[in-house]
Chain A
Amino acid sequence: MTSTQATPELSYLEHKVAMYRSQVVLRRFEQRAYDLFLENYVKGTSHLSIGQEAIAAGVAAAMRPTDWTFATYRGHAHTLARGVPMTPIFAELMGRTNGLMAGKGGSMHLTSVEHGMMGSYAIIGAHLPIACGAAWSAQYRGTDQVAVAFFGDGSVNIGAFHEALNFAAVWKLPVIFFCENNLWMEYTRTSDVTAVANPAADRAAAYGLESIIIDGNDADAVFEVTSLAVARARAGEGPSMIEAKTYRHGGHSRADPGKYRPDEELAEWLLKDPIPMYRSRLVEMGVSEDDLLLLEADVDAEIETATNEAKAGDVPGEELLLKDVWADGGASWRN
């Protein structure tokens, strides 16, 4: 069990170390996922968050276990950050029965309702109105739950984005729209196809929301700004939108080597890699090199164990094929 979610009772330094650990888990998980593709254990596609870990770690740390995450198909990191163990995620990528969804969802649809991970959605923008619905449910039932919907810079030009923003603002819903702006909309530079410079933040005013732009590679900044938005939402003050500038170190998906990006741009962002940056901060705060090495070795050991556990899972058979179309557990459409 790898809970990467920071909890309120941690001391200031423990919280920082947990935040670092979370980012290391996300990085090493994604690197292993990539290796497993190369070894053909993982088929299909996947969209890695390498370079963007500070966002998943920072936002999850600002959430309570009862809050809800709605992620995109680039959702491994968000799933892990909510405390879902590595083994069922690896197994899901490999299509095994010990997978998070027994292999029926795959990389792009990671879901773990018991962890508040309400799904990874592979149709751009679709989950933004769905997150509004969860937020509406919290508002209606009088709980103080908050829904967080992550989306990429490419999502801001699809209709569902605008419908969701207006809907959430009008109904004052406890939902946070979190844009991970990694500058590239799949294979196209977002600024080439977007009318405004800051794809999400520059649209906020249209829905009566504050324009918020942060450094998405700084987990502390992500945590702090998200915490404020979460507090606003819990207090019934309505939605927020946050645009975090970041960069994916790899291509859009498994099939994409990302060659369309200028070398110097990639080099510049590699210097802003959130993980070494955060590690230096911890060292400055007095965390020992030995402790950090131990932490990293511990994560590596967990990755190893989880990989082996996932590989040991069974390949799903026919018993799963016709299961769970309906709430009665079956798939029958006639008598």
Chain B
Amino acid sequence: MAQLTFREAIARGIAQEMRRDESIVFLGEDVGAAGGVFKGTVGLLEEFGGVRVRDTPISEQAILGAAMGAAMTGLRPIAEIMFSDFFAVCWDIVANEIAKSRYMTNGQVSFPLVIRSGNGGGLRFGAQHSQSVENWAMMIPGLKVVVPSNALDVIGLMAAAIRDPDPVIFLEAKALYASKMDVPDGEIIDTLGSAKVLRQGSNATVVALGAMVPRALRAAEELANGGIECTVIDVRSLVPLDTTTILREASATGRVFTVEENPRLCGWGGELASIIAEEIFYDLDGPIVRITTPHIPLPAADALEDLAIPSVERIVSTIHKSMNS
């Protein structure tokens, strides 16, 4: 058992898999010699050498194109897009090439690759380095989308993503990089498409993702002090989506709240609300309520950014108000 930060867990998860399989290679901007701009890949170049851990030019299309071409010819690349906002400059490779080619070729090619990226706000970087883009990835057929919320899950889900035969977008909440937890020694492997119930309560089910998970947990504690007992689910994987767990826990309480960092429109919670309404409507005791970032580009000023992203206070007050109305 060792205490590990979220950022250290990234290097540990990648290293665990690279030791096991020589076909795994890693590329991105500043990932090798610099150890990543968020220091998430420190030590990988030293352990695996410059042939397997490669610094690239600032060329996101080249990075992801290279990952795709390598994946379809026998390697298992991990590519880093430094900030998930930068997906916008290489989205063709993600959405048109990687995601569609297996289907278009009637299964002739596979893309066992992972694209990891720093996602979301909280670091006061302004609108072009802070957006939570999980909804961009979720809406593309052919992409798996994984969003861990703690160091242990980073390792296990990273391992599962690397071993998966399909392309996985692995979004790391930048706001969580410094968070710490005790992590067992030895190999850790998790499963894609499994949500985790982190807390059980009988009054409401709160479904959260990534950086919103610890906030949802703290909100649940405060709500419990006021007599509202919440189940908290960490979605962990948007595609595949563990609807079994979410629907079961939603039915059990009859009230559902989503906590989403993405801007409001077409956030993952909208899809979830639709599934819940369609499939367990008669188990509900009240409206499904989405707690999200407003539909705005994220502002830079700390005071404004804090107002934008769902806070513990906003989660508590929204649930409280809704449960008592």
A31 at the interface (CB under 8 A from B): no
CB closest chain-A residue, reference B165:
A327
Asked if B70 and A137 make an inter-chain contact with CB atoms under 8 angstroms apart, the answer reads: yes
Q: Tell me the minimal C-beta distance from B133 to chain A in angstroms.
A: 18
Q: Is B56 an interface residue (CB 8 A)?
A: yes
Interface size counted on chain A using CB atoms at 8 A: 53
Number of CB contacts from chain A to chain B under 8 A: 165
Q: Which of A70, A121, A160, A320 has the most CB of B within 10 A?
A: A160
The reply to whether B166 and A129 contact each other, CB–CB distance below 8 Å, is no
Most buried by B among A104, A119, A171, A333: A333
A3 within 8 A of B: no
Report yes or no: B165 in contact with A133, Cβ–Cβ below 8 A.
no
CA distance A131 to B97 in the complex (A): 12
Are A101 and B105 interface neighbours, CB within 8 A?
yes
List residues of chain A with CB within 8 A of the CB of B67: 133
Please report the C-alpha to C-alpha distance between residue A101 and residue B297 in the assembled complex, in whole angstroms: 42
A312 within 8 A of B: no
Most chain A CB atoms below 10 A, which of B93, B239, B241 = B93
B269 to chain A, nearest CB (A): 15
Say yes or no for A261: interface residue by CB 8 A criterion.
Answer: no
Residue in B54, B74, B242 whose beta carbon sits within 8 Å of that of A335 in the complex = B242
Contact of A109 among B75, B104, B240 (CB under 8 A): B104
B53-67 near A? 1/0 per residue, CB < 8 Å: 010110111101111
**A131 and B69 contacting across the interface, CB-CB below 8 Å:** yes
With a cutoff of 8 Å between Cβ atoms, the chain B residues found around residue A68 in the complex are 73
Q: List CB contacts (< 8 Å) of A94-136 with chain B.
A: 100-102, 104-105, 109, 111-113, 118-119, 121, 123, 126-136
Chain A residues lying within 8 Å of B253, measured Cβ to Cβ, are none
Contact of B166 among A132, A327, A334 (CB under 8 A): A327
Which one of B107-115, B152-160, B311-319 is at the A interface? B107-115
Q: Does B102 contact A (CB under 8 A)?
A: yes
Interface residues of B in 109-132 (CB under 8 A from A): 109-110, 112
- Shortest C-beta distance, A231 to chain B (Å), equals 21
- CA distance in complex: A123, B243 (Å): 35
Closest Cβ neighbor of A171 among chain B residues: B54
A315 to chain B, nearest CB (A): 15
Q: Are the C-beta atoms of B62 and A119 separated by less than 8 Å?
A: no
**B74 with A113: CB separation less than 8 A:** no
Answer yes or no: A167 CB below 8 A from chain B CBs. Answer: yes
Q: For the complex, what is the distance from the CA of A123 to the CA of B99, rounded to whole Å?
A: 14
**A26 close to B (CB within 8 Å):** no
**A326 in complex: contacting residue of B51, B61, B74, B166, CB < 8 Å:** B166
Q: Contacts A130-B97, A136-B66; is A323 near B107 (CB within 8 Å)? A: yes
Quick check: is B68 within 8 A (CB to CB) of the other chain? yes
Nearest CB of A to B56, in Å: 7
**A149-171 interface (Cβ within 8 A of B):** 159-160, 163-164, 166-167, 170-171
A283 within 8 A of B: no
A132-B69, A324-B103 known; A166+B96 contact, CB < 8 A: no
**Number of B interface residues, CB 8 Å?**
50
Nearest neighbor of B108 in chain A, beta-carbon distance: A113
B66 near A167 (CB under 8 angstroms)?
yes
A129 vs B25: C-alpha distance when bound (angstroms): 17
CB of B243 within 8 A of CB of A334, answer yes
What residues of chain B lie closer than 8 Å to A101, measured between beta carbons? 104-106, 108
Interface residue from A112, A113, A123, A326 paired with B97 (Cβ < 8 Å)? A123
A329 at the interface (CB under 8 A from B): yes
Of the candidates A70, A140, A324, A328, the one whose C-beta lies within 8 Å of that of B106 is A324
Evaluate contact between B109 and A126: CB separation under 8 angstroms.
Answer: no
Instruction: Using A129-B93, A133-B65, A138-B73 as known contacts, say yes or no to A333 and B106 having CB atoms under 8 A apart.
Output: no
Q: A170 to B27, alpha carbons, bound, how many Å?
A: 14
Query: Residue A259 at the B interface, CB < 8 A?
Result: no
Closest to A175 in B: B69
Q: A126-B93, A129-B62, A166-B62 are in contact. Are A324 and B107 (CB under 8 A)?
A: yes
B237 to chain A, nearest CB (A): 10
> In the complex, what's the smallest C-beta–C-beta distance from B45 to chain A, in angstroms?
16
Asked if A163 meets B107 with Cβ closer than 8 Å, knowing A123-B96, A129-B66, A134-B70, the reply is no
B101 within 8 A of A: yes
B325 within 8 A of A: no
Select from chain A the residue with minimum beta-carbon distance to B96.
A123
Instruction: List CB contacts (< 8 Å) of B20-68 with chain A.
Output: 25, 51, 54, 56-57, 59-62, 64-68
A325 near B97: Cβ-Cβ < 8 Å = no
Residue of A nearest to B110 (CB): A327
Q: Which residue of A lies closest to B142 (CB)?
A: A325
**A111–B62 CB distance below 8 A:** no
B68, B101, B108, B240: the one contacting A334 at CB < 8 Å is B240
- The residue from B93, B104, B141 contacting A104, defined by CB atoms under 8 A apart: B104
Closest-CB distance, B82 to chain A (whole angstroms): 15
A113 CA to B74 CA, complexed, in Å: 12
B66, A333: Cβ atoms closer than 8 Å: no
| Least CB separation from A145: chain B residue | B73
Given A126-B97, A137-B73, A333-B241; A119-B105 close (CB under 8 Å): yes
Q: Which residues of B contact A145 (CB under 8 A)?
A: 73
| Complex CA–CA separation, A118 to B61 (angstroms) | 18
| Alpha-carbon separation in the docked complex, A334 to B144 (Å) | 11
In the complex with contacts A140-B25, A323-B107, A166-B57 CB distance below 8 A: yes
**9 closest Cβ contacts across the A-B interface?**
A133-B69, A129-B65, A327-B165, A324-B107, A133-B66, A163-B59, A163-B62, A167-B62, A134-B69
12 contacts between A and B (CB under 8 A): A68-B73, A126-B65, A126-B93, A133-B70, A133-B77, A136-B69, A141-B74, A164-B65, A320-B106, A329-B107, A333-B239, A335-B240
